[in-house]
Structure 1
Amino acid sequence: MKYFVYILYSEEHNKTYVGYTNNLERRLKEHNSGKSEYTKKYKPWKIVYTEECKSEIDARHREKYYKSAAGRRKIKI
């Protein structure tokens, strides 16, 4: 099964969010419908970056990287 790391951006609130999923379309709908505790405060969201990963473990590692200080520096929106 394919997994994806994704970065969301809320232009209205100038916020980013990093996550991973095996279904990008479903996950974006969940974020924009308020089903995620953190992201419901900053709707609407749009996907600004995706990265396909070979496994869930790889996706988790990439998510962790993008949430780290080094990964955050690479995210320029």
Structure 2
Amino acid sequence: MPEHKSGEGSRFTSRYGVQRLVWYEEHFDIRDAFQREKSLKRWPHQWKIELIEKTNREWFELFRGTGW
């Protein structure tokens, strides 16, 4: 998260100014996480919004790290 806050997380992060964590999923197998990420990238934008709002209707910042 600190990298995302400073715009260094990825090209996508710096290009679009992504700085808030509003949704996440935990995966115990990295292969499952990669597969889920690829799947979500193909979803329509509205589906992604609905996924976020199922658990975080107000789009609150979920990251609770030090200094952020």
Q: TM-score range by the shorter chain?
A: 0.5 to 0.7
Output the aligned Cα RMSD: 2.0
The alignment's TM-score, normalised by the length of structure 1, stands at 0.51
Larger strand percent: 1
Corresponding letter in the other structure for 1:60:
F
Corresponding letter in the other structure for 1:58:
D
Structure 2 distance, partners of 1:41, 1:73, is 21
Q: Where do 5+ consecutive residues of structure 2 fail to align? A: 53-68
Task: Check conservation: 1:32, 1:44, Cα contact below 8 A.
Answer: yes
The alignment's TM-score, normalised by the length of structure 2, stands at 0.56
Aligned twin of 1:42: 16
Task: Check conservation: 1:31, 1:45, Cα contact below 8 A.
Answer: yes
Number of residue equivalences = 49
Q: Where do 5+ consecutive residues of structure 1 fail to align? A: 1-27
Say if 2:51 is the partner of 1:67: no
Structure 2 distance, partners of 1:73, 1:63, is 16
Query: After superposition, where does 1:3-22 map in structure 2 within 5 Å?
Result: none
Corresponding letter in the other structure for 1:75:
K
Larger helix percent: 2
Matched residues, percent identical?
35
Bigger CA radius of gyration: 2
